[in-house]
Amino acid sequence: MSPTATKSKNPVSPKDRMKIPRQLMPEQPAEERAHNFEEVNLGYSAELAQQEAKRCLECAKPTCTDNCPVGIDVKKFVELIVAGDFLGAAAKIREANVLPAITGRVCPQEDQCEGKCLLSKKVKPLGIGYLERFVADYEQKMGIHVVPNVAPTGKRVAVVGSGPSGLTVAGDLIQKGHKVRVFEALHEIGGVLVYGIPEFRLPKQIVREQIDYMREMGVEFETDVVVGRTVTIDELLEEEGYDAVFIGTGAGLPQFLNIAGEHLNGVYSANEFLTRINLMKAYKFPVYDEPMLDLKGRDVAVIGGGNTALDAIRSALRLGARKAYVIYRRSDAEMPARAEEVHHARQEGIDFQMLTAPIEFLSDGKGWLTAARCVRMELGEPDASGRRRPVPIQGSEFDLPLSVAVIAIGTSANPIVQSTTPGLVTNRKGYIQASEETQRTTRKGVFAGGDIVTGSATVILAMGAGRRAANSIHEYLTTGAW
Amino acid sequence: MFKIIHAEFLAPGIKRFVIEAPRIARKQKPGQFVILRIYEEGERIPVTIENSDPERSTISIVVQAAGKTTHLLNSLETGDAILDVVGPLGKPSEIRKYGTVVVVGGGVGTAMAYPTAAALKQAGNRVLSIVGARNQELVILEKEMRAVSDAVMITTDDGSYADKGFVTDKLRQLIENGTRIDLVIAVGPIVMMKAVAEMTRKENIHTVVSLNPIMIDGTGMCGGCRVLIDGKSEFACVDGPEFDAHKVDFSVLVQRNTMYRDAEQRSLAEYRHSKSAEAGKCAVTAPQGAQA
Ligand SMILES: Cc1cc2nc3c(=O)[nH]c(=O)nc-3n(C[C@H](O)[C@H](O)[C@H](O)COP(=O)(O)OP(=O)(O)OC[C@H]3O[C@@H](n4cnc5c(N)ncnc54)[C@H](O)[C@@H]3O)c2cc1C
Ligand SMILES: Cc1cc2nc3c(=O)[nH]c(=O)nc-3n(C[C@H](O)[C@H](O)[C@H](O)COP(=O)(O)OP(=O)(O)OC[C@H]3O[C@@H](n4cnc5c(N)ncnc54)[C@H](O)[C@@H]3O)c2cc1C
Ligand code: SF4
Ligand code: SF4
Ligand code: FES
What's the complex ipTM? 0.92
Q: Does A28 touch chain B (CB under 8 A)?
A: no
Residues of B numbered 188-247 whose beta carbons fall under 8 angstroms of chain A's beta carbons: which are they? 216-224, 226, 228, 233, 238
Chain A residues in contact with B86 by the CB 8 A cut-off are 185, 187, 224-226, 230
Q: What is the mean pLDDT of residues A343-370?
A: 96
In the listed set B59, B89, B119, which residue is the last one of a domain according to the structure? B89
Q: Do B263 and A187 touch (CB under 8 A)?
A: no
Are B129 and B226 in a shared domain?
Answer: yes
Same domain flag for B78 and B112? no
Cα-based distances in Å from B287 to B14, B134, B276 = 12, 22, 11
Q: Which among B222, B256, B259 is the nearest to A275, CB-wise?
A: B222
Predicted local distance difference test score (pLDDT) of residue A9: 83
What is the pLDDT at residue B282? 46
Please, are residues B135 and B158 in contact by the beta-carbon 8 Å criterion? yes
B15 in contact with chain A, both atoms CB, cutoff 8 A = no
Residues B81 and B189 in one domain: no
A112-128 per-residue burial string, b: 16 or more CB within 10 A, e: under 16: bbbebbbbeeeeebbbb
Per DSSP, helices labelled H in chain B are 22-27, 68-74, 109-122, 142-148, 167-176, 190-203, 236-239, 250-256, 261-282
Domain that holds residue B152: 100-257
Residues B160 and B75 in one domain: no
A116 to A53, A57, A127, B114: CA distances (angstroms): 16, 13, 12, 64
Q: What is the reported pLDDT for A149?
A: 79
Report pLDDT digits (tens) over A177-235.
999 999 999 999 999 999 999 999 999 999 998 899 899 989 999 999 999 999 999 99
Q: Do B75 and B148 belong to one domain?
A: no
Do B105 and B85 belong together in one domain?
no
Alpha helix segments (H runs only) across A306-374: 307-318, 339-348
Q: How confident is the model at residue B279 (pLDDT cuts 50, 70, 90)?
A: low
Specify whether B229 is located in the same domain as B192.
yes
Together in a domain, B80 and B110 = no
Residues A265, A369 contacting (CB under 8 angstroms): yes
Please determine, for residue B283, whether its predicted confidence score (pLDDT) is greater than 90.
Answer: no
Query: Are B213 and B82 members of one domain?
Result: no
Q: Do residues B76 and B171 both lie within one domain?
A: no
- Mean pLDDT value of segment A82-91: 93
Phi first, then psi: give them for residue A66, nearest 5 degrees.
-60, -30
Which pLDDT score is estimated for B289? 39
User: Does any domain span residue B107?
Assistant: yes
- What is the DSSP code string of B164-191? ES-HHHHHHHHHHTT---SEEEEES-HH
How many domains are there within chain B? 2
Residue B286's pLDDT band, with cuts at 50, 70 and 90, is very low
CB B100 within 8 Å of CB B54:
no
Asked if A318 is an interface residue toward chain B (Cβ–Cβ < 8 A), one would say: no
Atom of ligand 3 nearest to the CA of A97: 1
Tell me the chain B residues in contact with residue A226 when contact means C-beta distances shorter than 8 Å: 86-87, 89, 218-219
Stretch A31-56: mean pLDDT: 94
Q: In this structure, how many other beta carbons lie within 10 angstroms of the beta carbon of residue B287? A: 18
Confidence class for position B287, pLDDT limits 50, 70, 90: very low
Between B69, B87, B224, which is nearest A230 by CB? B87
Instruction: With beta carbons less than 8 A apart as the criterion, state whether B13 and B111 touch.
Output: no
CATH number at residue B240: 3.40.50.80
Residue B6 belongs to a domain with what CATH number?
2.40.30.10
Task: Band the pLDDT of B280: cuts 50, 70, 90.
Answer: low
Same domain, B162 and B20: no
Higher pLDDT pick, A389 / A369: A369
- Taking only the tens place, the pLDDT of each residue in A360-384 is 999 999 999 999 999 999 998 888 8
C-alpha A318/C-alpha A283 separation (Å) is 9
Cβ < 6 Å from ligand 1: which residues? A 106-108, 160-166, 183-186, 191-192, 196-197, 225-228, 248-250, 252, 274, 307-308, 311, 338, 414, 416-417, 450-452, 456-460, 462; B 219
Quote the CA–CA distance of B214 and B253 in Å, as a whole number: 9
Q: Is the pTM of this model over 0.80?
A: yes
Q: What's the confidence (pLDDT) of residue A387?
A: 81
Average predicted confidence (pLDDT) for chain A: 93
Residue B161: phi, psi to the nearest 5? Answer: -150, 145
The predicted structure's pLDDT at residue B281: 54
Neighbours of A417 (CB within 10 A): 25
pLDDT in tens, B45-85: 999 999 999 999 999 999 999 989 999 999 999 999 999 99
Inter-chain CB proximity A289 and B43 less than 8 Å: yes
> What average pLDDT does the segment A276-294 reach?
90
Task: Give me the pLDDT at residue B285, please.
Answer: 43
User: Is pLDDT of A7 > 80?
Assistant: no
